[in-house]
């Protein structure tokens, strides 16, 4: 990403290509996917066909080799029409980035190639019933048995669980060491002893299944360790520095989608003999919505640049982009419902779905309260760059 605050021609072309796929192949099913709370198979197929399902995978493994900004553009444009569908590229990055960051040649070649080829999605198994914001409190255990490892435990809130073929699983290998005793493994859906809970009944992102993952004496070979024994928590946290930027992108996308719809509506809707867009009270709402969406977008793109370069202030920028963009998305989608009045409150119009979908962006991949802890600590450590 250049220092100029403008997209390159290449990035602009990516945005246009994704927007075409999103509007033609994903948007027509968004309401039905939400209503039926079913996986967006049409979106999954369209993203795979256009190589947008996991754009971040490097070219050497058969991937599109998209940089962090291009990946953000893919997720933003899909989220603009369907947040559930945007979780396909977002979670494929979240699940596989530990392999990319910490894995050796064998595990990278094996699993990144399969992901790029469309042989299965990748989910990320960090959270547990007692390890949400306190992610180091892992109860899942991995015990060495010869050259193999045997895993036992329960993972909760796992996005696309049951749909994905591959899972990055964090497990405690040395409980006395707390976070330094956690190791990352790749588990496959087909491994004996892997099963899934019932899908959670959620407020939003209903097209993206969220389920528990049960590991019951799951035996896996030693070459499925990501990095070294005891490195898992460090790899997991580094991953989130990068992937929080993708959640910011989802938030920007859904906010833009809601603003777009509201703009169209207020120009058509007439009250007191004129379009409601002509009332100053409405204009001021629109102005605040547009201003905040653009601020969130610029912060997100700036964070993407830092993600691509691996800058030392990425942790601050990733947390800032995620928190600001998701708070913005919640406010903008809520305002869009307000602008549509009674219609906004019905499922005949998309803004109530957008409002419900936006809420999760303030919660997952670290609540916005946790993001503020992260930012505060970064500021106190003197990490924020001074230009």
Strand-pairing partners, residue 301, are none
The answer to whether 296 and 328 are in contact (CB under 8 A) is: yes
Which DSSP string corresponds to 37-67?
Answer: T---HHHHHHHHHTT-SSTTS-GGGTS----
User: By three-state DSSP, how is residue 169 classified?
Assistant: strand
Cα distance between residue 184 and residue 173, in whole Å: 9
Render pLDDT for 89-127 as a digit per residue (tens, 0 to 9).
999 999 999 999 999 999 999 999 999 999 999 999 999
Does pLDDT of 5 surpass 90?
A: no
User: In this predicted structure, what is the pLDDT of residue 196?
Assistant: 98
Cα distance between residue 65 and residue 74, in whole Å: 13
Cα distance between residue 271 and residue 365, in whole Å: 43
Render pLDDT for 149-176 as a digit per residue (tens, 0 to 9).
999 999 999 999 999 999 999 999 999 9
H or E stretch covering 19: helix 9-21
Burial 54-76 (b: 16+ CB within 10 A, else e): bbbbeeebbbbebbbbbbbbbbb
**How many Cβ atoms are within 10 Å of 383's Cβ, its own excluded?**
16
Does pLDDT of 40 surpass 50?
A: yes
- Beta strand 210-221 with 194-196 is antiparallel
Position 225 confidence tier, pLDDT thresholds 50, 70, 90: very high
Whole-number mean pLDDT of the chain? Answer: 97
Residue 66: C-alpha distances to residues 58, 82, 179 (Å) = 7, 21, 32
The yes-or-no answer on residue 365 being catalytic is: yes
Question: In the chain, what percentage of residues exceed pLDDT 70?
Answer: 98
Does pLDDT of 138 surpass 70?
A: yes
Candidates 76, 163, 231, 365; catalytic one: 365
| Homologous superfamily of domain range 122-229 | Butyryl-CoA Dehydrogenase, subunit A, domain 2 (2.40.110.10)
CATH number of 9-116: 1.10.540.10
Domain 233-380's class?
Answer: mainly alpha
Q: What is the pTM of this model?
A: 0.97
Where do the domains of the chain lie? 9-116, 122-229, 233-380
Render pLDDT for 297-330 as a digit per residue (tens, 0 to 9).
999 999 999 999 999 999 999 999 999 999 999 9
Residue 174: C-alpha distances to residues 126, 148, 288 (Å) = 16, 16, 51
**Nearest CA to 91 among 45, 131, 125?**
125
Position 2 confidence tier, pLDDT thresholds 50, 70, 90: very low
Cα distance between residue 292 and residue 255, in whole Å: 9
- Beta strand 166-172 with 122-125 is parallel
Render pLDDT for 47-75 as a digit per residue (tens, 0 to 9).
999 999 999 999 999 999 999 999 999 99
Does pLDDT of 1 surpass 80?
A: no
């Amino acid at each position: 990403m250049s220092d100029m605050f403008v997209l390159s021609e290449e990035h602009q072309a990516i945005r246009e290509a994704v927007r075409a796929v999103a509007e033609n192949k994903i948007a027509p099913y968004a309401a039905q996917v939400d209503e039926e709370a079913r996986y967006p198979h049409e979106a999954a197929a369209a993203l795979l066909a256009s190589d947008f399902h996991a754009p971040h995978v490097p070219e050497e493994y058969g991937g599109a080799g998209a940089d962090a900004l291009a990946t953000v553009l893919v997720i933003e444009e899909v989220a603009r029409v369907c947040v559930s569908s945007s979780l396909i590229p977002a979670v494929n990055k979240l699940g596989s980035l530990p392999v990319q960051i910490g894995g050796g040649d064998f595990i990278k070649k094996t699993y990144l190639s399969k992901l790029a080829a469309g042989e299965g999605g990748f989910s990320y198994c960090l959270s547990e019933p007692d390890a949400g914001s306190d992610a180091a409190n892992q109860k899942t255990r991995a015990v060495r048995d010869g050259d193999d490892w045997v895993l036992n435990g329960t993972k909760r809130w796992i996005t696309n669980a049951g749909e994905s073929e591959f899972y990055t699983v964090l497990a405690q290998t040395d409980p006395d060491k707390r976070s330094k005793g956690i190791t990352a493994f790749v588990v496959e859906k087909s491994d004996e002893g892997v099963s899934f809970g019932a899908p959670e009944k959620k407020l939003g992102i209903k097209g993206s299944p969220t389920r528990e993952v049960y590991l019951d004496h799951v035996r896996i070979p030693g070459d499925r360790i990501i990095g070294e024994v005891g490195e898992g928590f460090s790899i997991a946290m580094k991953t989130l520095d990068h992937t929080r930027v993708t959640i910011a992108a989802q938030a920007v996308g859904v906010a833009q989608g809601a603003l777009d719809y509201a703009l169209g509506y207020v120009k058509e809707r007439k009250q007191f003999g004129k379009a409601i867009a002509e009332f100053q009270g409405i204009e001021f709402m629109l102005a605040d919505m547009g201003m905040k969406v653009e601020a969130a977008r610029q912060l997100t793109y700036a964070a993407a640049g830092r993600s691509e370069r691996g800058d030392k202030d990425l942790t601050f920028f990733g947390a800032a982009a995620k928190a600001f963009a998701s708070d913005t998305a919640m406010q903008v989608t809520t305002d869009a419902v307000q602008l549509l009045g009674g219609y906004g409150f019905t499922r005949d119009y998309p803004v109530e779905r957008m409002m419900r979908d936006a809420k999760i962006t303030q919660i997952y991949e670290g609540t916005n309260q946790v993001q503020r802890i992260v930012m505060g600590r970064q500021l106190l450590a003197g990490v924020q760059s001074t230009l």
